[in-house]
């Protein structure tokens, strides 16, 4: 009986199906497709050197498509927050100079059909690397502002290309004032890696401003407003130096320090007092410093030498060493120049002008002994060219020679016998703005192509500069420079940076 009912139901279903007419519409819209090609999966780019040049092929299956485009870039490995996409373009073709710091980034390209609202997005990884760690850095000023140019040396010491205004390109600002002095240290403390540790840091000083940057990215770690525990009311940098395992910063004639052999946050302490009576003082911008010995400064207020420690709050008194020909205290002299001649033995050279008789100039060899100084004097003759000196360039650790400029000429003075010799005459219209001795040599075979020993002479003319790199033989400059670096502005200082260079490579000196 049950089987009969099942057969009856099946017959009814077949009957109904045979009577049904299919009047349905089976014409479906095919989903739109946007195709994008021509974008690679990954790119390796050098920050501030390379561009991303991409012109992808984009098509849509919509015959009435009206496409719009956008490009973006965002940082990878962001923890604690969602990554922020920075828009870098609104055209199909991208021509973008990479300015991001060295790390991983993601490039994003989006195409949207304005007709249908349909979009497609593709991404590519960007590995940003940096060349800030190798090249010639030239500090220059123009229009009462200071910036830095970088001359890249990928395969040898001779520059192959240049990046103009690298400081402002990275930090979106310039420094106020005239270019003054570089300082490079590998034991300066910062938290650029997330924890306070030694950092390869470059100090950039003008006469009104200062900055310390991470050499790996050239991004500012501290500006002058946050380089000290207390923001200085007067911004007048004089010098940055390293001695007795500490960094010393002279601002507005007063000394600040940070001890590098202990944990710190990279901030300079308060002004050190002149003495227990808090006597007024004003330090010259010139200094005598060596990493493993005491620093020496010259107090222009009392015409006296002083020293310091990285952990002290009061300047250290300086006494006379046996055999000195000039007192270290209240010698009634004006300091015109002082620099490091040798670190072994620790020796400096200074040029003084007598306050009572300004026509009297004295060239002194300084030998420190703990907190005592021995000064051996060489009184200049009225006919000595050094009387007319404007800029100075002391050779460190090589020949016993002081270079100096007088007008458009660069002269050398033999510190052993006083002999002076013309070394270089700047072309007509060029003004000499900088003389600097730099030397880089070591034992790394891979670095030999970058070793050098140059006198660098900076000149300015018509808003542009030239820095000529001269070899020297027995203290005499070659007839022509090995190469010349050119840019805009007036040169204040020159330094070469490479991965093995540390704070012992270039003894601190003007």
Which of 18-27, 178-187, 243-252, 341-350 has the weakest average pLDDT? 18-27
| Domain contains 96 | yes
Alpha helices in 143-201 (DSSP H): 166-171
Give the residue-averaged pLDDT of 233-255: 96
Neighbouring CB atoms inside 10 A of 55's CB total 12
pLDDT of residue 103: 76
Give the residue-averaged pLDDT of 192-219: 93
Q: What contacts 23, CB < 8 A, 6 or more positions away?
A: none
d(CA 88, CA 249): 40
Give the residue-averaged pLDDT of 181-204: 92
Which of 80-89, 216-225, 407-416 has the weakest average pLDDT? 80-89
Q: Assign 101 a pLDDT band (cuts: 50, 70, 90).
A: confident
Q: Assign 171 a pLDDT band (cuts: 50, 70, 90).
A: very high
Q: Assign 1 a pLDDT band (cuts: 50, 70, 90).
A: very low
pLDDT of residue 15: 42
Q: Which backbone phi and psi does 11 adopt, to 5 degrees?
A: -65, -40
pLDDT of residue 128: 85
pLDDT of residue 445: 77
pLDDT of residue 4: 47
Cis status of the peptide bond prior to 345, with omega within 30 of 0: yes
Domain of 124, in residue numbers:
34-129
| Domain contains 252 | no
| Domain contains 43 | yes
pLDDT of 6 over the 70 cut: no
CATH number of the domain where residue 119 is located: 2.60.40.60
| Domain contains 237 | no
| Domain contains 102 | yes
d(CA 244, CA 253): 20
Give the residue-averaged pLDDT of 235-252: 96
d(CA 246, CA 257): 7
Phi-psi region of 192 (alpha: psi -120 to 50; beta: other; left: phi over 0): alpha
Neighbouring CB atoms inside 10 A of 74's CB total 17
| Domain contains 49 | yes
Query: What is the per-residue pLDDT across 116-170, written as a single tens digit (0 to 9) for each?
Result: 999 999 999 998 878 898 999 999 999 899 999 999 999 999 999 999 999 999 9
pLDDT of residue 20: 42
pLDDT of 16 over the 50 cut: no
Q: Assign 367 a pLDDT band (cuts: 50, 70, 90).
A: very high
Place of tokens 């009577």: 19
pLDDT of residue 78: 55
pLDDT of residue 5: 43
Percentage of the chain lying above the pLDDT 90 cut = 79
Query: What is the per-residue pLDDT across 73-85, written as a single tens digit (0 to 9) for each?
Result: 998 765 445 678 9
Whether the Cβ atoms of residue 420 and residue 378 lie closer than 8 Å to each other: no
d(CA 411, CA 169): 37
Whether the Cβ atoms of residue 380 and residue 386 lie closer than 8 Å to each other: yes
pLDDT of 221 over the 50 cut: yes
Whether the Cβ atoms of residue 197 and residue 260 lie closer than 8 Å to each other: no
Give the residue-averaged pLDDT of 337-364: 96
Q: Which backbone phi and psi does 308 adopt, to 5 degrees?
A: -165, 165
Query: What is the per-residue pLDDT across 451-479, written as a single tens digit (0 to 9) for each?
Result: 999 999 999 999 999 999 999 999 999 99
Query: What is the per-residue pLDDT across 247-275, written as a single tens digit (0 to 9) for each?
Result: 999 999 999 999 988 889 999 999 999 99
| Domain contains 78 | yes
End-to-end CA distance of the chain: 117
Give the residue-averaged pLDDT of 472-492: 97
Whether the Cβ atoms of residue 297 and residue 306 lie closer than 8 Å to each other: yes
What mean pLDDT, rounded, does the chain reach?
Answer: 91
pLDDT of residue 129: 78
Percentage of the chain lying above the pLDDT 70 cut = 93
Which pTM was predicted?
0.83
Structural domains of the chain, count: 1
């Amino acid at each position: 009986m049950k089987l009969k009912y099942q057969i009856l139901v099946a017959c009814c279903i077949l009957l109904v199906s045979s009577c049904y007419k299919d009047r349905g519409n089976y014409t479906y819209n095919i989903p739109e497709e946007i195709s994008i090609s021509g974008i690679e999966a990954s790119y390796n780019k050098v920050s501030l050197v390379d561009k991303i040049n991409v012109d992808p092929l984009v098509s849509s299956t919509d015959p009435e498509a009206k496409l719009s485009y956008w490009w973006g870039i965002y940082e990878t490995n962001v923890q604690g927050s969602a990554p922020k996409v920075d828009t870098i373009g609104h055209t199909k073709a991208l021509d973008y100079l990479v300015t991001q710091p060295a790390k991983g980034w993601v490039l994003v390209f989006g195409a949207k059909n304005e007709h249908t609202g349909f979009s497609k997005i593709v991404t590519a990884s960007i590995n940003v690397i940096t060349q800030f760690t190798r090249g010639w850095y030239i500090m220059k000023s123009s229009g009462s502002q200071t910036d830095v140019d970088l001359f890249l040396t990928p395969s040898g010491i001779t520059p192959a290309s240049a990046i103009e205004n690298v400081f402002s390109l990275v930090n979106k600002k310039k420094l106020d004032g005239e270019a003054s002095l570089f300082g490079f240290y590998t034991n300066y403390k910062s938290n650029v890696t997330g924890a306070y540790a030694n950092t390869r840091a470059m100090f950039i000083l003008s006469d009104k401003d200062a900055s310390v940057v991470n050499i790996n990215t050239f991004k500012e770690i501290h500006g002058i407003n946050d380089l000290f525990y207390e923001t200085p009311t007067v911004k007048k940098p004089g010098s940055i130096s390293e001695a007795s395992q500490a960094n010393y910063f002279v601002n507005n004639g007063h000394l600040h320090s940070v001890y590098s052999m202990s944990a710190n946050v990279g901030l300079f302490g308060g002004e050190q007092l002149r003495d227990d009576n808090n006597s007024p003082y004003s330090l010259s911008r010139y200094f005598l410093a060596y990493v493993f010995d005491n620093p020496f400064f010259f107090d222009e207020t009392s015409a006296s030498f002083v020293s310091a420690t990285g952990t002290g709050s009061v300047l250290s008194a300086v006494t006379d060493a046996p055999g000195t020909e000039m007192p270290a205290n209240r010698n009634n002299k004006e300091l015109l120049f002082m620099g490091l001649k040798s670190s072994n033995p620790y020796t400096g050279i200074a040029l003084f002008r007598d306050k009572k008789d300004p026509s009297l100039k004295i060239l002194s060899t300084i030998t420190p002994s703990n907190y005592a100084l021995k000064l051996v004097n060489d009184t200049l003759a009225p006919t000595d060219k050094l009387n007319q000196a404007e800029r100075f360039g002391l050779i460190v650790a090589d020949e016993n020679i002081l270079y100096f400029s007088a007008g458009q000429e660069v002269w050398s003075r033999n510190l052993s016998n006083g002999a002076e010799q013309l070394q270089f005459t700047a072309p007509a219209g060029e003004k000499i703005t900088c003389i600097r001795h730099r030397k880089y040599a070591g034992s790394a075979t891979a670095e030999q192509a970058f070793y050098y020993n140059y006198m660098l002479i900076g000149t300015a003319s018509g808003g542009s500069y030239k820095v000529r790199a001269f070899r020297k033989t027995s203290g005499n400059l070659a007839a022509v420079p090995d190469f010349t670096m050119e840019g805009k502005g007036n040169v204040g200082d020159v330094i070469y940076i490479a991965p093995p260079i540390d704070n012992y490579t270039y003894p601190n000196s003007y």
